[in-house]
Chains A and B, each alone.
Chain A
Amino acid sequence: MDQFWSVSLQLLEGFKENCILFGVTLLFALPLGLLIAFGSMSGFKPLKFLCRAIVWIIRGTPLMLQLFVVCYIPPLLTDGSFKFKERMTAAMIAFIINYAAYFSEIYRGGIEGIPKGQYEAGYVLGMKKSQIFFKVVLLQVVKRIVAPMSNEIITLVKDTSLARVIMVPEILKYAEDFTKINGLIWPIFYTGAFFLIFCGVLTLLFRFIEKKLDYYKG
């Protein structure tokens, strides 16, 4: 039993890193994703192509590869003079860019799904485009994207465990160390409980949000 508690505590220590990575990624990727979404819907062609190219590259390559690129390419190109002091920083940058690309497509789907008639009605009433977007469209977008967003955010929880490929000491790495150093196998499977609980809480939270937003049929 003592062993169970000491393993649990150490895994919790590792899971803290997962939570930090999760939080920081959400904090920056949500607004960055909106920027990219605006960019890829922009009437200004170069910006539009640039944003779509970014989304294509980021969605078209494995996140694991992107982690290697962010962590190793800068020092390789600068002969070691530019490197990340904390590997966590490299992981955060890779995750933020990756998730911003996915979020941007969700935003775009939500925004473009609003019927054109609503804009036309707004113009008739003499509203400016920005007024229409913020006062009429945005609230409906939020409601529409809750389900796909919650999907992506729950994926993010589990993806954080990938940070161990650049040696960020997250929970699965702790568990693998238990196997390698102490010869204990069960901690690896036990980590599943941490993710399940975290995702369970998120699921309840999203259900609550969906219910709150259910005041009209959009």
Chain B
Amino acid sequence: MKKAAALILAVALTALFLVGCGGNSSSNGDSKSSDTKSESSNATSDSAQSDDWSYIQNKGEMIIGITYFEPMNYKDENGELTGFETEFAKAVCAELGVEPKFQEINWDTKEVELKSKTIDCIWNGMTITDERKEAMSISDPYMENKQVMVTKESNVEKYSTAEGVKEANVVAEAGSAGETVAKEDAFFKDAVYLAADSQAKALMEVKAGTSDIAIIDYVMSIGTLRAGSDYSDLKVVEAQSFSPEQYGVAFRKDSDTTQKVNEAMKKLAENGKLKEIADKYSLTDLVIVK
């Protein structure tokens, strides 16, 4: 009797543990049919995600992975999500006939989110890099961006030259384009580099005086450094800018959704809708879809 009770407890705990640690026992069973389906399509075609678009179309909504930053995706005074990317993504989804659904993501785990289908694309001012092209399917570039230096207003003059940057403490977001600039650009050859976990933290370093210069996206600096914010005493060093780069939307590797979105973007560029949205956020000069 006691042994039986112990055995039941053991089984119950194992089940609980497996569910907690990934659900490979029960949840696999639930989804067996869909698993075999995708496997059979793997066998017939080379690209693993060739049916990605029909997957999105079937559920009728595209889950768009974003992080909040002005002017791309942010909340207005009423708490409504707005911004250039928000409106752009909505327009593209309307063109494609699916509902956009915005899901905030952790930028560090964006690839995992995409792969586990908790989101369908990353649409958030993402810089196109070779590594990302390897790992994901990326749309045509739609916008241009550059990296700029941000520092305290009193230091703008000093850091306009390579001489002034000597031994300065430079901070950028780990893994960002700004980090590449800080580490590789000859301008920062004699500077001391520190990685922060976000662009906002990089700015906070400069604000707090623990670092001298933050290297961030020009687009991000527009929203964050405006008058009335805690960063209003920080300024962009206009004399220098680095590594022009391009933004793209990322989809699952080999996804056929990329092509659909590319076409929709072109259409919006042709009928002037894209320009209309860009005008609203004064980003017109940066848009490059023709």
Name A residues whose Cβ lies closer than 8 Å to a Cβ of B: 32, 35-36, 38-39, 42-44, 46-47, 50-51, 54, 57, 68-83, 93-94, 97, 165-167, 176-177, 179-186
CB of B262 closer than 8 Å to a CB of A:
no
Q: For residue B17, which residues in chain A have a CB less than 8 angstroms away from its CB?
A: 54, 97
Cross-chain contact B21 with A73 (CB below 8 angstroms) = yes
> Residues 227-255 of chain B: 1 if any A CB is under 8 Å from the residue's CB, otherwise 0?
00111100000000000000000000000
Residue contact A181 to B117, C-beta cutoff 8 Å? no
Q: Which residues of A contact B23 (CB under 8 A)?
A: 73-74, 77-78, 82
Chain B CB within 10 Å — which of A57, A83, A180, A181 has the most? A180
Interface of A is mostly: helix
> What residue in chain A is nearest B112 (Cβ atoms)?
A72
Out of B20, B112, B200, which one reaches A93, CB within 8 Å?
B20
Given contact pairs A76-B116, A82-B27, A167-B105, A176 touches B10 in the complex (Cβ within 8 A): no
B106: interface (CB < 8 Å): yes
Tell me if B117 and A79 are in contact (CB < 8 A). Answer: yes
Can you list 18 A-B pairs with a CB-CB distance of less than 8 A? A39-B10, A43-B6, A47-B6, A57-B21, A68-B109, A70-B20, A72-B109, A73-B22, A77-B22, A78-B28, A78-B34, A78-B35, A79-B35, A83-B118, A93-B19, A180-B68, A181-B75, A184-B229
Complex CA gap A38/B34 in Å reads 40
Residue of B3, B9, B34 touching A81 (CB-CB under 8 A): B34
Q: Give 1 or 0 for each of B193-219: 1 = CB within 8 Å of chain A CB.
A: 000001011001001000000000000
CA distance A97 to B201 in the complex (A): 32
Given the interface pairs A42-B6, A77-B28, the reply to whether A181 lies near B69 with Cβ below 8 Å is: yes
Known: A83-B117, A180-B200. A167 touches B106 (CB 8 A): yes
Q: Which of A57, A79, A181 contacts B74 (CB 8 A)?
A: A181
Q: Which residues of B contact A (CB under 8 A)?
A: 3, 6-7, 9-10, 13-14, 16-17, 19-24, 27-28, 30-31, 34-35, 38, 67-70, 74-75, 103-106, 109, 112-113, 115-118, 198, 200-201, 204, 207, 223-226, 229-232
Write the nearest CB–CB distance from B33 to chain A, whole angstroms: 9
17 further contact pairs, Cβ within 8 A, besides A77-B28, A79-B35, A183-B230? A35-B9, A38-B9, A44-B10, A47-B9, A47-B13, A50-B14, A72-B113, A73-B22, A75-B117, A78-B34, A83-B118, A97-B17, A167-B106, A176-B198, A182-B229, A184-B229, A186-B230
Contact B204 A94 (CB under 8 A): no
What separation, in Å, do the CA atoms of A75 and B106 have in the docked complex? 17
Q: A54-B17, A78-B31, A181-B69 are in contact. Are A72 and B118 (CB under 8 A)?
A: yes
**Interchain nearest-CB distance for B148 vs A (Å):** 16
Could you tell me the distance between the alpha carbons of A74 and B27 in the complex, rounded to whole angstroms? 7
Q: For the complex, what is the distance from the CA of A65 to the CA of B225, rounded to whole Å?
A: 34
Whether A185 contacts B118 by the Cβ 8 Å rule is no
Whether B20 contacts A97 by the Cβ 8 Å rule is: yes
Instruction: Write out the residue numbers on chain B whose beta carbons fall within 8 Å of the beta carbon of A93.
Output: 19-20
Contact A185 B204 (CB under 8 A): yes
Residues of B within 8 A of A181 (CB): 68-70, 74-75, 223
Please give, as numbers and ranges, the residues of chain A lying within 8 Å of B118 by CB-CB distance. Answer: 71-72, 75, 80, 83
Contact B13 A77 (CB under 8 A): no
B101 to chain A, nearest CB (A): 12
CA distance A39 to B207 in the complex (A): 53
Please give the distance in Å from A176's CB to the nearest CB on chain B.
7
Which of A36, A71, A167, A176 lies at the interface centre, i.e. has the most chain B CB atoms within 10 A of its CB?
A167
Q: Is the CB of A79 within 8 A of B34?
A: yes
Q: Find out whether the CB atom of A75 lies under 8 angstroms from the CB atom of B230.
A: no
Q: Do the beta carbons of B68 and A81 come within 8 Å of each other?
A: no
List, in ascending order, chain A residues with CB within 8 A of B201's CB: 179
CB of A183 within 8 A of CB of B224, answer yes
B66 to chain A, nearest CB (A): 11
Q: How far is the CB of A182 from chain B (nearest CB, A)?
A: 6
Q: Which residues of A contact B116 (CB under 8 A)?
A: 72, 75-76, 80, 83
| A74 neighbours in B (Cβ, 8 Å) | 22-23, 27
Chain B residues in 8 Å Cβ range of A83? 116-118
* Closest A residue to B33 using CB positions: A81
A77 touches B27 (CB 8 A): yes
CB proximity of B39 to chain A, nearest CB, Å: 9
